Structure 1
Amino acid sequence: MMSNAQAHSVCSNKNYWVLGASSGIGLQLATDLARLENHVIVSGRNATALEHLKKQYPNHVTVLVFDLQSEDDFLIVKKTLPELIDSLDGVIYCAGICEYVDDLHNNRALYRRVFAVNFFAAVDILELSIPLLKKSDTRGCFMGIGSLAAQAPFTRAQAYGASKAAFEYFMACQRIDLEPIGIDVCTVLPGFVKTPLTDKNDFKMPFLMSVDEASQIIIDGLAKRKKRIIFPKKLYWLLQIYRWWPQLWFGSVAKKMRRENDV
């Protein structure tokens, strides 16, 4: 991993837009990027949290409150963003929600809510960002937070896992198509990170990491222009083994994870 000095030299004095910046990984990334003396536009629904961050780094943070599920907000941001900044060196899409399927009924509304934020909003944000990323002095980078949950099927995670799998495939395709116009695409695949989102989980989370650890790994990968940032490696390789031998996953691990009231 790069030293703080190395990361500072590569990831400083740039323009970033961090979405989902009011909590969790997004908040920590926005904080660390501001510490590195970048200009960081922070977006999320929680205006209080965003304004608190701006008070900490008044010369480096600009607040752009934005509800990704609001069409009206999207139209406002589409007009406002180019007025706030001439170019972007990086856009980091950290927004995400998780809703578990707690019975055997596939609730369409639940799936639509999860996909609206985890997938479709990301598509819209990339479309909105491309003109500004193309104006970067170096190469613009669009980074998105996926999940290791998409590497294997988990009980109750139908909506969340499917949305993250779709997002990962979308990002891989965009990496091919945006490279010729000077935009890099990076997908982050974290395991369990302690955030307000994972605090709601009622099961044991192996290899649980702090947001500080996650942010440092992501910034290190951003500085190195990695195409995929995966952590923790132990969990990733464990899931890969189970993907290679699906009968082992379904025959032992998946069944043990299932709760009695799920059937």
Structure 2
Amino acid sequence: MTLPFDLAALVTLCLGGAATGFLAGLFGVGGGAITVPILFEIFGVMGIGDDVRMPLAVGTSLAVIIPTSLRSVRSHYLRGAVDLAVLKSWAVPIMVGALAGAAVARYAAPEVFQVAFVVFGTVMSAKLLFGKSTWRIATDMPRGWVLRGLGFFIGSVSSLMGIGGGAISTLVMTLHNRPIHQAVATSAGVGALIAVPGTLGYILAGWGKPGLPPDAIGFVSLIAFALTVPATLVTTPMGVAVAHRLPRRALEVLFGLFLATVALRFVIAVFSG
């Protein structure tokens, strides 16, 4: 099967990459919340079957997140906003969780990915849009195995959803009384921890699956990856600069609206599918 990347698809991938990079810097996310829907629609137009379209979008999104998140966390780190202690505690549990989420992807129905997006996107957007300063479960981050358990949870769910984990880790940190700017900056580092093992897992999960385009390695489209990444690397520092200029509440509201929009998109996909 030939993958017909027409001009409209090429332009959409480049614009999607630019938006992904900007959002990665602005919100500390890997950008999967925008690349997954875009890739999902493009692969549909290209005639890729519903049984592999969503995991292909998720796996390709995770691959794009690797360079994007590294660029984002470096920019935030240079501004002194990253909590390295939390990242070190989360490193191994997040990577193990990401592999677990990718393993589920091989056997899960397409609707599982979409429902996961809707549930967590709705919860996170509600917290950011309507939550008050009293909406927290602790005054600081936990330690030891509890903190590592949160890392495993973030890694597994994010891998299943095809996102870099920034949205979920931001929610976790703000519920533990961390400032939104620090949460966003630290969450930027979560992306690479999830995306590297997640991408490898999706490659293995999709290996030999029928119906994939010829450029795909497992559930990763190499052409979509190559077209999207250059734009993300250009716009990521722009998003970081804007994030550090915005007031706390403005950043929370923008992030909440973004997540609500993405969740609504997948609600429509679930009920129309």
Above 0.5 in TM-score? no
Q: Indicate the structure with greater helix content.
A: 2
What TM-score do you get using the length of structure 1 for normalisation?
A: 0.30
TM-score between both structures, scaled by the size of structure 2: 0.29
More strand by share: 1
Larger Cα Rg: Structure 1 or Structure 2?
A: 1
Of structures 1 and 2, the one scoring higher in RCO (CA 8 A, sep 6+) is: 2
